[in-house]
Amino acid sequence: MAIGDFHLHSTASDGVQTPSWVIGTAFARGVQVLALSDHDTTAGLDEAAAAAKEAGLRLIPGLELSTDLGKADVHLLAYGFDRTSKPLQDFLQWQRDGRIGRTRRIVEILAEQGMPLDVARVFEIAGEATVGRPHVARALLEKGYVASVQEAFDLWLGNGKPGDVDRPKLEPADAIRVVHENGGVVFVAHPVFIGEDYAAAIEQLRAWGADGIETYYKHYDPATVAAHAALAARLGMAASGGSDYHGLGNPDDREIGDIPFPDERVVEFVSFIEQNTACPEVQ
């Protein structure tokens, strides 16, 4: 069990548990420092900060951004930024608006495939959260079109499937620039999902200013961790780790803190955040 987990989602985006629940569960599982990294939003951080203060945990500002590098879907984790910055919040609002348009188009496509959904129900499932494909998946499950959220992605919503709809393109270089301009750092999330040539992609992201690699990801075996660590060392990048917790019940899900992230590496990551960001803790 790791003492740090820096890739966690809540009901502020596409997780199923509230920020308070995420923090309380992290505490119960022995996590001492963490980051809530919801998609395109910092809306959960106030609630998370209050819960972290009560539990005596350290909370680092985080969020996750989806970008496109050629045909690859590249996710970036941002940490330590000034979440009160208007330019940053305007940028995130633009991202969220793109998600709304994409959701409407996905629902249209699914109806064409014989699976009509009420788009209002999808937004109701999302609530105040940033809407995304997991909310569509839960609507499909609710209607009985699929047997699980994972099946919804495997058959309809995953990369290359009928419901794989592009949003307005966000270039990685632009995302990195915005985060840096607002005092944060950027780590490449779960690089193996980029594709077989993820090392070349990370080299390009490094050239654009990416600061680190998510090296200790939920289901990585020792060989994969070693490969990521070697790549980070070669490129002069820091290493982070996270469970990517959503609570959706997918086969590869891990509980909060259930990642191969050694304590000494957690300490190194936190030190990097302290030395290189404007806001190493949520205020």
Note whether 39 and 64 are within 8 A (CB).
yes
Taking only the tens place, the pLDDT of each residue in 230-241 is 999 999 999 999
Query: What pLDDT, on the 0 to 100 scale, is given for residue 98?
Result: 87
Cβ neighbours of residue 237 closer than 8 Å, sequence gap 6 or more: 202, 206, 210, 211, 212, 213, 231
Give the residue among 212, 75, 81, 174 at the shortest CA–CA distance from 133.
75
The alpha carbon dihedral of 174, 177, 181, 183 has a sign of positive
The token pair at 210 is 């990416």
List the chain domain ranges: 4-85+169-276, 93-157
The model's confidence at residue 17, banded by pLDDT at 50, 70 and 90, is very high
Please report the pLDDT score of residue 129 as a whole number: 79
Burial class (CB in 10 A: 0-12, 13-18, 19+), 59: buried
At the second CATH level, the architecture of 93-157 is Orthogonal Bundle (1.10)
CATH of domain 4-85+169-276: 3.20.20.140
Average pLDDT over residues 173-198: 96
Task: Please say if the pLDDT value at position 180 is more than 90.
Answer: yes
Residue type, 134: P
Enter the pTM of the model. 0.88
Closest to 210 in 3D by CA, of 194, 226, 225, 221: 194
What does the pLDDT look like over 207-265, one tens digit per residue? 999 999 999 999 999 999 999 999 999 999 999 999 999 998 888 889 999 999 999 99
Of the two residues 195 and 79, the one the predictor is more confident about is 79
